[in-house]
């Protein structure tokens, strides 16, 4: 007897953020092509549901990521996923920025190292609170390790290289924003789709520029 597969979800509101960012980067027509390719026609022009119900399955998020690679090829598909991740931050701030305190002066006037740490912790908390994705952080003076033990982006995918580019893009943009326009080295080192036990993204605390 096989046990039923666990089903995990994003909130509708969090899923909608990804779809809005995808539409922004690809344009509506091409975003709809990817949505069709992923076999999810229910989302074509129908993703305005903005509640906190946990009803947006991990599997749908991962099919959208795979759809980008299928439609545009591995290299361009991952580049686009990265850009979708970067574009997502604006919608995260619109929807959650105030609740999370990210747009409050108390946050904005923190000294930079504290702002970086607080921004990343707040983002991890957003996933832990509004989705079934679980993020844990490990930090030392040089790096932050963003660790995801169940990841919607690579859910049930198998790839040769780490494939959660959307998360890398979201972290890039978050750091760009909290630092007032600086770039950081951010790299996905481990990925469940490659057989690792968790997805791990390494963030260098020292900016590149």
Rule CB under 5 A: which residues touch Zn ion?
A: 151, 153-154, 164, 199
Shortest distance, CB of residue 186 to Zn ion, whole angstroms? Answer: 14
- Element holding 199 (H helix, E strand): strand 199-204
d(CA 108, CA 55): 33
E-strand stretches of 53-156: 54-57, 134-139, 143-150
Residue closer to Zn ion by CB (options 23, 188) is 188
Q: Are 155 and 59 in contact (CB under 8 A)?
A: yes
Beta carbon of residue 192, minimum distance to Zn ion (angstroms, whole number): 5
Residue with nearest beta carbon to Zn ion: 151
Full DSSP string of 140-189:
-SSEEEEEEEE-STTTT---SS---HHHHHHHHHHHHHHTTS----EEEE
Report whether 81 contacts 165 (CB < 8 A).
yes
- Closer CB to Zn ion, 92 or 151, in the complex: 151
The nearest distance, CB 45 to Zn ion, in angstroms, is 28
In angstroms, give the least distance from the CB of 181 to Zn ion.
Answer: 28
∠ CA 159-165-166, rounded to 5°: 125
Between 102 and 174, CB nearer to Zn ion: 174
User: Toward Zn ion, which CB reaches closer, 102 or 123?
Assistant: 123
| Mode of pairing for the β-strands spanning 143-150 and 9-11 | unpaired
**Which CB sits closer to Zn ion, 58 or 91?**
58
Q: In whole angstroms, how close is the CB of 111 to Zn ion at the nearest point?
A: 32
């Amino acid at each position: 007897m096989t046990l039923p597969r666990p089903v995990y979800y994003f909130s509708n509101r969090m899923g909608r953020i990804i779809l809005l960012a995808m539409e922004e980067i690809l344009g509506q027509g091409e975003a709809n092509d990817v949505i069709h390719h992923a076999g999810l026609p229910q989302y074509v022009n129908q993703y305005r549901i903005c509640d906190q119900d946990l009803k947006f399955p991990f599997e749908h998020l991962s099919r959208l990521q795979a759809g980008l690679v299928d439609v545009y090829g591995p290299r361009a598909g991952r580049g686009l996923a990265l850009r979708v991740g970067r574009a997502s931050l604006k919608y995260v701030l619109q929807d959650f920025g105030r609740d999370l305190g990210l747009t409050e002066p108390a946050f904005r006037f923190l000294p930079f190292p504290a702002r970086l740490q607080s921004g990343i912790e707040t983002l991890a908390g957003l996933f832990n609170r509004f989705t079934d994705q679980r993020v844990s952080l490990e930090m030392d003076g040089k790096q932050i390790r963003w660790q995801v033990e169940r990841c919607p982006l690579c859910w049930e995918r198998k790839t040769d290289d780490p494939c959660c580019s959307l998360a890398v893009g979201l972290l890039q943009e978050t750091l760009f924003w909290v630092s007032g326009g600086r770039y950081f080295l951010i790299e996905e080192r481990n990925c469940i789709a490659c057989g690792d036990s968790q997805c791990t993204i390494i963030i260098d605390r020292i900016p590149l520029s």
